[in-house]
Structure formats: C-alpha cells, structure tokens
Amino acid sequence: MAGRARPLSAGALAAVVAGCAPAPPELDPPAPAPLEAELRFSSPFDGPARLVNYFDHDLPLQFADHNGVQRTFWGEGTVGIDGHSGYDWDLEVGTPLRAVADGKVVALGVEPPFYCPLLDRVVDDQRFVRVRHVGPDGVAFDVVYKHVSSVERAYDEVVRRGDVLARSGQTGCVSGAHLHFEVWRLTDTVSGRPARVDPYGWEGEGPDPWATHPDGAASVWLWAEGAAPPLLREVQRPANVGPGERAPVAIVALRWMGFRDDAHLDNEQVVLEADPRYAPDGYDLGGAVLINDRGERFRFPAGTVLGPGQRLTVVTGRSDDPQPNHLYWERATGAWDNRGDRARLLGPDGSLVYALW
C-alpha cells in the first residue's frame, strides 16, 4: 500500500520524470548580487530531472558539516546530505552531460581513494570531469561533473557550450545513478583559494553563511535566461507495483518541495491514477480525502470520477486559469513538509486506499 522514496541520500531511487506531473515552472533569477558574474550557464543535461540534494549554504563541507540541516539558496532548511557541496539530479546511466558554457577541460579521470560514509567503505572508482570557464569580466569558475560512467573529452581540450563531456553514472560514493554538479569560484573568494559556490546564488534573509566563511565565497546567479534546471523534490511511482497492491486509485506522484513553496504554491502537486486493472469501470472519488502527515485534509468534491487509466492532479494553491484534470486545494500556505511527507488517500468511509512517501 505504500512506496518509500524520501530523498535522504544521493540517487536513492531512479527518477521517472515523464508523463506524470505537469511541466515544472522555470526559476526566475534573483536580484543582482555583489560580485555579479557575466558568465551564464546552460543546463548540464537535457530535459527535466528529479532533484535529490541541494547545495548546503550552512555549510558545504560534505561529511564534515553535522548541523543536521541542508540550507537552500533561499535560506530554507531541508533534509539531505549534510554539508552537500553541489546539486544532485537523478539521471539514468548513460545520460549525456553537456558543457554549460565555452571552456577547457582542466582535469578528468578517477578521484583518489577515499572513505565513503554512505557506503561505509573506501571507494576508488569515482570518475569525474572538470571544465574551466572564464567570463568576459575575468571571473572564473570550474564546473565538476561527478559519478560519471565515461568521459568523452581529453585533458586540455577546448569545449563549446552544449558539447557532450561525459555520460552520467553511479561510480564512487553513491547509492544510485545521478549527476553531482559542483561549481568552484576561482576569483574573489574569502581566502584567495578556489571555493565551492552555488550557481543559483543566495536569496535568503540575512547574509549567506558560506559567503563569509574562511573557506567560502559569494554565490551569484550563473544561469542563462530559462536555462536553470528546476529544483523540485518529488517521488513518482507506477500504480500498484508493490507486493499485494490492488488499489482502484493510486497516488503516482507527490511533489513536496520546490523553490519558495510559500510564494509558488503550484510547486506542490499530487497525482492520482485510476488503475484499469482494479477499476475497469473507473472510480468515483467524491467524498474521498487526501491527507498529509499533519492530518490536513483535501476532500474531493462530489462527482469527481476518474475513468480507467485517467489521472488527476491536486495542486496545493489556487489558479485563475484552471487546467483540465486538475483540482485546487486553494490553500494560502504549503501543504507538504519540505523535510519529507507522506500522502494518503482515504476512501469516503475513512479506510486507507493508498499511500505514497
């Protein structure tokens, strides 16, 4: 009756990114930040991908930071690998990874052996490629692609924006296939040495903890217009794939976190599907209830009927332009916990129909 997919470790599950939730919104760049860079990145991969880990602004010292919080670029705390030093996106093995701007390959190969707490062993097979990009203003950044299965460029090779550099994989300190995308600032850092930074910048209230750290640097928005990969945490799961599951309606997607959910309530969505194997004549959801871990409830209005195989999306916020096959909770605040949540569907009689978390 339930599927587990809370992203507490890198690449915990493979993403199923097509045909379930609506297309995610684009991120808008923040207001100009100090030390603004003229360099602009394109996406390192094609299409959407499920986010697993954010860059931790407090602080990106992976396996050394133990404050229990992953601090996003808008200042919100969430779960994930403490001290995470980049962004993790679930990508199938072999997905092309692209240069985000013109640059030069400055390092590639296999990282030296190191102890991996996730696996509780030493790993000696973590492949990577590192590309240097210098903007017209002289501000320089290195971009590192980790856990790749293969590298398709040579050392010192000049690359152009969009060139395939490598293929995603699951080498090294991983629990599943994904891309670890890491950006290093080479100029204007606190120490004068290279420092990891967040390509989404900093929009939190108050100063960025990492910008003033002795090993830190200011993070600035580095994406070209419309090119920033959306930062959406969600779980997607085919209907009734667990042992003994035979629900007439299944929750097949729960998107529980995106950029500033308080201001973008359409980030949060739940998708239900009438399984034609167990609901050959469709299913009447009227009076059924969708419930979160806090016990807050959305009741489906009378006459809400799903045909066999039909999907319905429940959006947390409201809309001035309602979409077909969508219902709106019309909340003024988020419904789903950004530290992970569970969606349960209860029938009109209060019995559990399906759960997903």
For residue range 161-192, what is the model confidence (pLDDT) as tens digits? 999 999 999 999 999 999 999 999 999 999 99
Q: Please indicate whether residue 141 or residue 6 has the higher confidence score (pLDDT).
A: 141
Q: Please indicate whether residue 149 or residue 23 has the higher confidence score (pLDDT).
A: 149
Do 316 and 190 share a structural domain? no
pLDDT surpasses 60 at 13: no
Q: Domain with 62 in it: what CATH number?
A: 2.70.70.10
Token pair of 278 as six digits: 């167990």
Do 63 and 172 share a structural domain? yes
Residue 280 lies in a domain: yes
Do 237 and 177 share a structural domain? no
Residue 118 lies in a domain: yes
Return mean pLDDT, the chain.
89
Residue 221 lies in a domain: no
Do 289 and 245 share a structural domain? yes
Cα three-residue angle 256-258-261, rounded to 5 degrees: 85
What does the pLDDT average to over 103-127?
Answer: 96
Residue whose C-alpha is closest to residue 81's, from 49, 121, 57, 54: 54
What is the percentage of the chain residues whose pLDDT exceeds 90?
82
pLDDT surpasses 60 at 22: no
Token pair of 46 as six digits: 């094609």
Predicted pLDDT of residue 1? 39
Model pTM score? 0.85
Do 286 and 172 share a structural domain? no
Beta strands 311-315 and 326-328, pairing class: parallel
Round to whole Å and give the CA distance between 31 and 324: 34
Residue 14 lies in a domain: no
Residue 348 lies in a domain: yes
Do 161 and 245 share a structural domain? no
CB contact set of 99 (below 8 Å; sequence gap of 6+): 131, 159, 160, 161, 162, 163, 165
8 Å CB contact between 258 and 232: yes
pLDDT surpasses 50 at 18: no
Q: Please indicate whether residue 311 or residue 14 has the higher confidence score (pLDDT).
A: 311
- Categorize the per-residue pLDDT at 37 as very low, low, confident or very high, splitting at 50, 70 and 90: low
Q: Please indicate whether residue 280 or residue 80 has the higher confidence score (pLDDT).
A: 280
- At which of 197, 218, 253 does a domain end? 197
- Categorize the per-residue pLDDT at 7 as very low, low, confident or very high, splitting at 50, 70 and 90: very low
Do 192 and 124 share a structural domain? yes
Cis bond leading into 59, ω under 30°? yes
Q: Please indicate whether residue 225 or residue 24 has the higher confidence score (pLDDT).
A: 225
Do 185 and 60 share a structural domain? yes
Q: Domain with 323 in it: what CATH number?
A: 2.60.40.1260
Residue 325 lies in a domain: yes
What does the pLDDT average to over 243-255?
Answer: 96
CB contact set of 288 (below 8 Å; sequence gap of 6+): 249, 299, 300, 304, 345, 346, 347, 348, 353
What does the pLDDT average to over 38-46?
Answer: 94
- Categorize the per-residue pLDDT at 137 as very low, low, confident or very high, splitting at 50, 70 and 90: confident
Predicted pLDDT of residue 129? 98
8 Å CB contact between 271 and 311: yes
Among 10-14, 115-119, 300-304, the minimum mean pLDDT is found in 10-14
Count CB neighbours of 122 within 10 A. 10
Q: Please indicate whether residue 15 or residue 87 has the higher confidence score (pLDDT).
A: 87
Among 44-53, 60-69, 205-214, 319-328, the minimum mean pLDDT is found in 60-69
Predicted pLDDT of residue 337? 93
Range of the domain at 169: 51-197
Residue 111 lies in a domain: yes
Q: How many domains does the chain have?
A: 2
Round to whole Å and give the CA distance between 144 and 103: 12
- Categorize the per-residue pLDDT at 339 as very low, low, confident or very high, splitting at 50, 70 and 90: confident
Beta strands 164-167 and 195-197, pairing class: unpaired
- At which of 197, 218, 246 does a domain end? 197
Residue 248 lies in a domain: yes
- Categorize the per-residue pLDDT at 251 as very low, low, confident or very high, splitting at 50, 70 and 90: very high
Predicted pLDDT of residue 17? 25
Do 189 and 65 share a structural domain? yes
